[in-house]
Structure formats: C-alpha cells, structure tokens
Structure 1
Amino acid sequence: MTGRLPLDEQLAALKAALSRNEVLLEALRRTASLDLPGWYVTAGCLFQTVWNVVTDRPAAGGIKDYDVFYFDDGDLSWEAEDAVIRAGEEAFAGLPAEVEIRNEARVHLWYERKFGVPCAPYTSTEAAIDSFAATTCCVGVRLESGGRWRVYAPHGLSDVFNLVVRPNPVLAPREVYEAKAKRWREEWPELTVLDWPGGPSQD
C-alpha cells in the first residue's frame, strides 16, 4: 500500500501518479515558463489525480480546475495580479482545463469578505498552502531547473494515497471543509472523510 511506504518511495509514487495526468504535466511546464516568484501548482489537481490513479479512474477525471499560487509582496495591487492572470491566459491557451492563478501575498485583502474570517498576511506560498481546509490538500509541486520536481507536502503524502480527507482547522471555517468534503465524496465515494474537531456536523 503506497500510503505505508517510506517517504522517498511515496515521492517517487507521487511523481509517477501525477505524470499520468497529461493536462497537469502541461500546466506545470507552462507555469514554469511564466517564471513566477515562489510558484506552485497546488490543491485539487494534485491530490485528485492521485485519487483517480489509486481508484483506477482516468487520471484527469473530475478535476474542476488547476490552481497556480505565486508570492509577490512587492506590489499588492489588483492591477499587478491581473497582469499576471492575463499573461497566464495566454500561456494556458488551448489547454483543456481552467487554470486559476493567484498571488498569495494579496489573499488577506479579500479573504474575510469571501469566507467571513480574517486572514493574516501570508509570508510565502508555502504558508498559503499550509492553510487549506484539509491537510490532504496541502501539497504543491513545481518544476525547477533541469526538470527537477520540487514537492511541498507539510503533512506528508500518506493520507493522499490512503484516500483520507483530514480537517486542517487553522483558518478556513468548518463549513468550507464540510462543503468541499461532500463534493469530493460525490465524485470519489471511496474517500474516508474525518470529522471536523468537535464531532460530526449536526446538519
């Protein structure tokens, strides 16, 4: 079982699984060409690709979009982020998927308005990844010089391979976690979804 392998073997298994998603590989290559500071392709497109491979589904199946995070605190204006988003639209033209690019240095400017809780300014892309609603989501991958893969996975990879969704109650509200987990279980019913601390939802 991959989730019980030593970490170095899990990393090799992660790369093998992600490499079966041609859309993801192309997204990684095209993002690398944008040369964004501190960038990662992250979130659902990674762990959902693994879920698809583990459950013998098409590698890109059920993946809603591909998230690209970068970190530029030198210019927190919307105009600067929008210029990067527009450059991304050109770079990802023709890719059969939606790619969403966000400057994580700006998240604190809009997070409370969207989710109802304040968000302290992030200090890095990694800090943003640390704040996902589920620890299972906390994975980022980027391509570095020579084609080397850089993998950020602060909670490891065992839950990803074992189809376990574990809450990460550091920022996102409980309802965000539960809504995401419900949506994921509809697509991947094999998942084990762990309760938010404090017990199961009363809904």
Structure 2
Amino acid sequence: MAGRLPLAEQLDELRSVLSRNEVLTEVMARAAALELPGCYVTAGCLFQTVWNVVTGKPSTHGIKDYDIFYFDGTDLSWEAEDAVIKMGQEVFAGLPAEVEIRNEARVHLWYEEKFGVPCRPYDSTEAAIDSFAATTCCLGVRLEPGGGWRVYAPHGISDVFNLVVRPNPVLAPREVYEAKAARWRDEWPELTVLPWPG
C-alpha cells in the first residue's frame, strides 16, 4: 500500500499515479508554459486522480475541474486576474476539461462574501493551499524547468493514498468541509471521512 511507503517512494508513486491522467499531465505542461509566479496545479484533480487509480476507476472519473493557483501581489485588481484567466482560456483550449486559474493574492478580497468567514491575505500560493477544508486537499504540483516535478504537500500524502479525508479547521467553515466530503463520498464510497473536531 503506497500510503505506508517511505516518503521518497510515496513521491515516486504519486508521480507515477498522476501521470496516468493524461488530461492532468497536459494541464501541468501548459500551466508551466504560462510561467505564472508561484504556480501550482492543485486540489481535486490531484487527490481524485489518486483515488481513482487506487479504487480501479478511470483516472479522470469524478474530476469536475483542474485548478491552477498562482500568486501575484503586484496588482490585486480583478482586471489583472481576468487578463490571466483569458490568457489561460486560450492556452487550455481544446482540453476535455474545465481549467480554473486564480490569483491567490486576491482571495481575501472576496472570500468572506462567498463563505461567510474572513480570510487574511495570503503571502504565497503555498499559504493558500495550506487553508483547504481538508488536509487531503493540501497538495500542489508543478513542472519545474528541466522537467522535474515540485510537490507541495504540507500534511504528507499518506492520507491521499489511504483514502482518508481529514478536516483542516484553519479557515473554511465546517459546512464547507462536510458538503465537500459528502459529494466525494458519493463518487468514491471507499473513502473514510473523519469528523470535524468537536
């Protein structure tokens, strides 16, 4: 079981498993070509690819979109982010997937209105990944110059391989975690969903 391997072997297995999702590897390649600051492909497209491989499903099963985070604090206007989103629409055209690009330097400007709790400004893409509702989601990958992979996984990746969904009560409200976990369990009934802390 990959979740019990030494970390270096887990990372090798992660790369091997994620590479089975050809949409994901193409998104990673095109994202690298955008050369956005602090860029990672992140969230569901990663851990759900792993869940699919572990449970014997097609590698793209249940993946609703491919998230790309970047961090540019030099211009927090919507217009600057929208220009990047439009550039991304051209770069990702023709892929059989929805790709969402977001500047994590701007999240604090809209988060409270959407989720009902305030969000302090992030200082990096990694800080944004740290605040996902479940630790399982806290995962980012990108292609580095020369073709290597950079993996950001502040909580490790054992839970991802072991199909464990663990709450991360640092920002997102309990109802966000529970709604996501319920939706995931519909697609992957093999998951073990741990309760929000009392």
TM-score (norm 2): 1.00
Deviation at 1:72, TM superposition (A): 0.1
Which position in structure 1 is the counterpart of 2:184? 184
Helix, strand or coil for the counterpart of 2:141?
A: strand
Which position in structure 1 is the counterpart of 2:47? 47
Query: Does residue 1:86 correspond to 2:89, yes or no?
Result: no
Deviation at 1:185, TM superposition (A): 0.1
Which position in structure 2 is the counterpart of 1:23? 23
Which position in structure 1 is the counterpart of 2:174? 174
Helix, strand or coil for the counterpart of 1:37?
A: coil
Per-residue CA deviation, residues 27-71 of structure 1 (Å, 9 max, x unaligned), is 000001100000000000000000000001111111000000000
Which position in structure 2 is the counterpart of 1:201? none
Counterpart amino acid of 1:17? V
Which position in structure 2 is the counterpart of 1:110? 110
Paired residues for 1:1-203 under 5 Å: 1-198=1-198
Q: Flag structure 1 segments of 5+ consecutive residues without an equivalent.
A: 199-203
Counterpart amino acid of 1:153? A
Distance in 1 separating the partners of 2:2 and 2:150: 20
Deviation at 1:86, TM superposition (A): 0.2
Counterpart amino acid of 1:114? K
Distance in 1 separating the partners of 2:96 and 2:111: 29
Distance in 1 separating the partners of 2:87 and 2:16: 29
Distance in 1 separating the partners of 2:24 and 2:2: 21
Per-residue CA deviation, residues 105-164 of structure 1 (Å, 9 max, x unaligned), is 000000000000000000000000000000000000000111010000000000000000
Number of residue pairs matched by the alignment? 198
How much identity, in percent, do the aligned residues show?
Answer: 81
Distance in 2 separating the partners of 1:86 and 1:142: 21
Q: Flag structure 2 segments of 5+ consecutive residues without an equivalent.
A: none
State the 4+ residue runs in structure 1 displaced beyond 2 angstroms.
none
TM-score (norm 1): 0.97
Counterpart amino acid of 2:14? L
CA RMSD of aligned residues (A): 0.3
Counterpart amino acid of 1:122? Y
Distance in 1 separating the partners of 2:62 and 2:122: 30
